[in-house]
Structure 1
Amino acid sequence: MSKSDWNSPEAVKRLAKRHAAERRFKAIGLGAIVLSLAFLALLLFIMLRNGLGGLDWTFLSGSDSTDASVAGVWGAAKGSLLTMLVTLLISFPMGVLAAIYLEEFAPRKRWIEWVEVSINNLAAVPSIIFGLLGLAVFINTLNMPRSSPLVGGLTLALMTMPVIVISGRNAIKAVPPSIREAAYGIGASKVQTTFHHVLPLALPGILTGTIIGMARALGETAPLLMIGMRAFIATPPDSLTAPSSVLPMQIFLWSDEIDKAFVQNTSAAIIVLLVFLLAMNGIAIYLRNKFEVRW
């Protein structure tokens, strides 16, 4: 197209339409961001207004009670901490190892393709299905203690693992082939190349998937309902097998109370849950940035 064609009325009209479409797209994107931030700011404002006055030492160090003035969140917070610990210890190593095998070592066979499709489908399964699975396997079959952080962590690990596997495979796949070729060129074996070169470079992406999976697990209530973690627990758990509740379940139970005094406790517990989530994500982001390699 010559210079005169660019200055023709038809070309000027087409360019004007493109520029107008770009401006509309930018305006829609900006509007979506502003709307999302507005809802988040409104939620935080309501929670802080209703619950900030209830954040005292009695609330932070106490456990559940039928009296709103002495009810506390420490029992549920400790239960969440123990449950997330079990979830992380089970889902992270197993998810990473599964991702490494599927991406680096698995033969290109039909059954491997079925496994990959199954993992992708598991990531989209409703969480309550994992609760039914945990109830059937861990409680009814293996006779593990009901309402315990151990069973809760194992159930949430089943739900979190597909997310870690998918993100781990994508992170491993993103490592340049030249890294593998250079390692093979100096005599490294397949295992040495994978664990000494590929895995460290893929670790930031794997940690990102772990953050997403753990954040989802921290806020879940449906799977824990099925394994009995909605019971009234008046004392904090002293082990992984002791009866316990978790923060989302405690919020749900307090929000269902008839006594209006529990409204402040519910909002305060939501604030504690948000702080818990931000702290967990902050640690994970720090570790991700620490291991990140700049190309």
Structure 2
Amino acid sequence: MKRRVARRYAAERRFRALGLAAVLLSLAFLAFLLVTMIVRGAGGFSSTFLTASDATDPAMAGVWGALKGSMLTILVTMALAFPIGVLAAVYLEEFARRNRWNDLVEVSINNLAAVPSIIFGLLGLAVFLKVMNLPRSAPLVGGLTLALMTMPVIVIAGRNAIKAVPPSIRDAALGVGASKMQVVFHHVLPLALPGILTGTIIGMARALGETAPLLMIGMRAFIAAPPAGVTSPATVLPVQIFLWSDEVDRAFVEKTSAAIIVLLVFMLMMNGLAIYLRNKFERRW
């Protein structure tokens, strides 16, 4: 018995050491990336880097146009993907009947979450540009395309968060006379909101770093002026980084690293805001 207990404790210590090593390895890769980008991109920052747009002269090039394009694109994506994804999750989990049709919808949503992003770019090209004749290389089209890509992730995360709410919450609300709508929107949804926001964070982070679907809808054009609105020609930070990394002029190497730093800071700010909102609305039972 003592030998078995000793073996279990030894296995637990090995597992903890392995987990700690995995965390340290991940942090080491992240630190290496940050240090490399800071060293390479320190010379790319200038007085106009954060206020200027793209230019053929690397000394005059900046990221404001691409940064504003990313903001507008993410706003369109969030405005469409979040409410539609949450409502779809609520309907599928709380109101939809269990039949073959709904089972097919659930399987389709799970499959869409695993579809490569380039497929959504082709879909956006075919539907939003060819059929609907929306303006090419606009944050509106980019946001619509990324919303299609992000929505399945939000639906899946929302359904899991709603499913995690204890059934006793529903039973207690129904027991005091609450309607089905009141149970869902006054009790279940507020308790599931932190989990839903977690899925939204993952989806938005993926959308912010995507390049392939935006290249398919033409957001790789040279844009010398910041976009005036969601229908103006624009580009985004990942595409701008891709374009600068393909330049022959070696001076753009520093600009590329500096733009990567700006993208990382932008993503950290977005994730930090989402985590703050998640913790603010979190409720315990």
TM class by shorter-chain length?
over 0.9
- The match for 2:226 among 224, 232, 236 is 236
- The match for 2:274 among 277, 284, 291 is 284
Q: Tell whether 2:255 aligns with 1:259.
A: no
Q: Tell whether 2:34 aligns with 1:44.
A: yes
| Cα distance between partner residues in 1 of 2:25 and 2:157 | 29
Aligned to 2:155: 165
Question: Bigger shift: 161-170 or 181-190?
Answer: 181-190
- The match for 1:29 among 19, 38, 50 is 19
Q: Tell whether 2:238 aligns with 1:248.
A: yes
Aligned to 2:259: 269
Letter of the 2:178 partner, please give it. A
- The match for 2:170 among 145, 162, 180 is 180
Question: Bigger shift: 26-35 or 89-98?
Answer: 26-35
Percentage identity across paired residues of the two chains = 75
Deviation of 1:283 after TM superposition, in Å, equals 1.0
Q: Tell whether 2:75 aligns with 1:81.
A: no
What is the SS of the residue equivalent to 2:48?
Answer: helix
| Cα distance between partner residues in 1 of 2:14 and 2:113 | 34
Aligned to 2:146: 156
Q: Deviations over 1:98-128 (max 9, x none)?
A: 0000000000111000000110111111000
Matches within 5 A, 1:188-203: 188-203=178-193
Letter of the 2:94 partner, please give it. E
Letter of the 2:157 partner, please give it. S
Deviation of 1:129 after TM superposition, in Å, equals 0.5
Q: Deviations over 1:198-232 (max 9, x none)?
A: 11111111001000000000000010010010111
| Cα distance between partner residues in 1 of 2:139 and 2:246 | 23
Question: Bigger shift: 33-42 or 104-113?
Answer: 33-42
Q: TM-score, normalised by structure 1?
A: 0.94
Matches within 5 A, 1:3-22: 6=1, 12=3, 14-22=4-12
| Cα distance between partner residues in 2 of 1:278 and 1:263 | 23
| Cα distance between partner residues in 2 of 1:20 and 1:284 | 39
Q: Tell whether 2:17 aligns with 1:57.
A: no
Letter of the 1:210 partner, please give it. T
Matches within 5 A, 1:54-133: 54-133=44-123
Q: Tell whether 2:206 aligns with 1:225.
A: no
Deviation of 1:239 after TM superposition, in Å, equals 1.1
- The match for 2:202 among 195, 200, 212 is 212
Deviation of 1:50 after TM superposition, in Å, equals 1.3
Residue ranges of structure 2 left out of the alignment (5+ in a row) = none
| Cα distance between partner residues in 2 of 1:57 and 1:273 | 18
Letter of the 1:85 partner, please give it. L
Deviation of 1:248 after TM superposition, in Å, equals 0.3
Deviation of 1:144 after TM superposition, in Å, equals 0.6
Aligned to 1:3: none
Q: Deviations over 1:58-105 (max 9, x none)?
A: 000000011100000000000000000000000000000000000000
Letter of the 1:128 partner, please give it. I
What is the SS of the residue equivalent to 1:276?
Answer: helix
Q: Deviations over 1:225-262 (max 9, x none)?
A: 10010111111100111110000000011011110100
CA RMSD of aligned residues (A): 1.1
Residue ranges of structure 1 left out of the alignment (5+ in a row) = 1-5
Letter of the 1:121 partner, please give it. N
